[in-house]
Amino acid sequence: MKLKTLLLRLLLSIVSLVVFNEFVVYYIVLLKCQWPSKPASVNGLEPVSVMLLADTHLLGPVRGHWFDKLRREWQMHRAFQSAITLFQPEAVFILGDVFDEGNWVNQKEFDNYVDRFRKLFHTPPGVGLHSIVGNHDIGFHYATRPNLVQRFGDQFNNTGVSLISLRGVHFVAINSIAMEGDGCYLCEKAEKELKSIETIFKCGRGIGQCKDVPKLEEYSRPIVLQHFPMYRESDKECQEHDSPQVDLYRERWEVLSKESTDLIGDLLNPRLAFSGHSHHYCHMLKNRIKVEEYTLPSFSWRNKNNPSFILARISLKEYTVSRCRMPEENTIVTIYLVGGILILLVSTLKIGGIVGQLWSYLCRGRKDYKKLTK
């Protein structure tokens, strides 16, 4: 009976350890994060509350072991769903590299990719989920093909430059791969879309011929969302960063070119920018075009031991931003190791005690038997 009780307690201890590490710990860590202070409403319009993350890099059929895929995708799923439950944002933006092998897989594998993505990052009704295209989704500029662009666009409705407006707050989602500036079909299309959006904003200020131009609910300077950061030489320019080493960035590879950065600044006159791609966090108070920029780290443990995401509240005139840290992979591994060792030690001691009692009982039985046979 004691052995059965011990085995039951052992099983409950193991289950409790797993439940804590795979469910509870996400809430404990994320509860330390809060929405930033709320800006004042403007013209009766409340600020928009959004969540931003980057570089989820869902593994495909080529890279990564099956357990690697299972572990890291479960981590992202639990972190994302816990954040959605706790913070209930109005919209979520994923800033590119949704997939790790989006530019390699065939159509069937891509469809499987999309199904997995929608299961992992599903949002409640009324919460918009917007995915910006990245180089791992369609390939770098030199390697992308029309069919790769088309299929991503079919699923996520975003492969060029698009305007997303929420209560007078305007987000401009930009395909960084199309910002090469070499006149290719993708770049030419993106530049035309940028200029069309520029016209919309000019008309919002009462500038130009606006007869057939879509009308904004309210004018406010836009927020740029893209995969590549605006041009900077390195993370040394960041007021805050978490890159373990600082390397020089190459234009058109790690960051946008100077020309494309200036073009975005000239046409859109943004007030804030968010980006990803580097897998590390960077906060710049003034980037090349003199606006505040946040580069978000990878959301996946595969690329970052200490991932994080952004919560932002944005009104027509102001914005507030907070960074939310997620559980670190090293912490989870340590909890498993310490918890496992403690469970093993306690179980060993308990089993040792039970075995000792059984041995004593058997020894007494033998002595009693000898007495009876004398």
Residue with tokens 């407006």: 165
pLDDT digits (tens, 9 = 90+) for 102-138: 999 999 999 999 999 999 999 999 999 999 999 999 9
Two structure tokens written together for 71: 């572990």
Measure the CA–CA gap between 197 and 246, rounded to whole angstroms: 35
Measure the CA–CA gap between 348 and 351, rounded to whole angstroms: 5
Two structure tokens written together for 303: 């690329």
Rounded to the nearest 5°, which phi and psi values hold at 76? -65, -40
Low-confidence ranges of the chain (pLDDT < 50): 1, 369, 372
Phi-psi sector, 252: left (phi>0), alpha (psi -120 to 50), beta: left
Residue with tokens 């919460």: 127
Parse the chain into domains and list their residue ranges: 33-326
Torsion of CA 330, 333, 337, 343, to 10 degrees: 130
| DSSP string across 1-32 | -HHHHHHHHHHHHHHHHHHIIIIIHHHHHHTT
The rounded Cα 302 to chain-centroid distance in angstroms is 12
Position 63 scores a pLDDT of: 83
Which CATH number describes the domain made up of 33-326? 3.60.21.10
Position 342 scores a pLDDT of: 92
Measure the CA–CA gap between 296 and 170, rounded to whole angstroms: 20
| DSSP string across 203-266 | HHTT-S--TTSPPPSS----EEEESSPPP-S-GGG-SEE--SS--PPPBTTTB--HHHHHHHHH
Position 4 scores a pLDDT of: 79
Two structure tokens written together for 337: 């190791």
Let me know: does 310 contact 296? Beta carbons within 8 Å. yes
Position 374 scores a pLDDT of: 54
- List all residues 6 or more positions away from 101 whose beta carbon is below 8 Å from its beta carbon: 59, 60, 61, 62, 63, 109, 113, 136
Residue with tokens 């520029």: 198
